Amino acid sequence: MQYLLLVYVDEDMLDALPEGEYDRRMRHCLERADALHEEGSLLGFQQLERPATAKSVRRRGGKVSVVDGPFAETKELLAGFNLVEAASLEDAVRMAEELPWAETGCIEVRAVRDVDAVRVQVGARRRPAAA
């Protein structure tokens, strides 16, 4: 089963890390990502740019609003994700525990839905690929 490990960080905690510590943690993450990818557990991962570069889009009552940055009631902001293949939720949680960002934020582990099963359930046909 696939799980998404959503990486949330507290930017104040990241900024407070000693000189070189962020780079050490990032190097560890990349090396671990390479190993997990080679064994087939890591299907993909990406970092996100800082929240200040983001836009939040909402549509309510037919009106669209676009505002700078994310709107969050928390100090922990989404920084990236890892898409993993794991035998169980417990295995995915163990992978999340190994990420150093759990020390400066939170790793949310969520199962990925089978979109093809959802298509069947709701009666949505897949569009043919463009030639």
Look at residue 128 and tell me if it is in a domain: no
What pTM, to 2 d.p., does this model score?
0.80
Look at residue 129 and tell me if it is in a domain: no
Tally of domains in the chain: 1
Please give the residue range of the domain that contains residue 88: 2-122
The amino acid at 6: L
Which single residue is written with the structure tokens 């407070």? 16
pLDDT digits (tens, 9 = 90+) for 22-77: 999 989 889 989 999 999 999 999 988 877 778 878 889 989 888 887 665 667 78
CA distance 116 to 121: 9
Can you read off the two tokens belonging to residue 14?
């990241």
Q: Strands of 11-104 (E only): list them.
A: 42-47, 55-60, 63-68, 76-85
CA distance 47 to 44: 11
Look at residue 118 and tell me if it is in a domain: yes
Look at residue 91 and tell me if it is in a domain: yes
Backbone angles phi, psi at 82, to 5 degrees: -130, 130
The average pLDDT across 95-115 equals 89
* CATH number of the domain where residue 71 is located: 3.30.70.1060
pLDDT digits (tens, 9 = 90+) for 19-35: 999 999 989 889 989 99
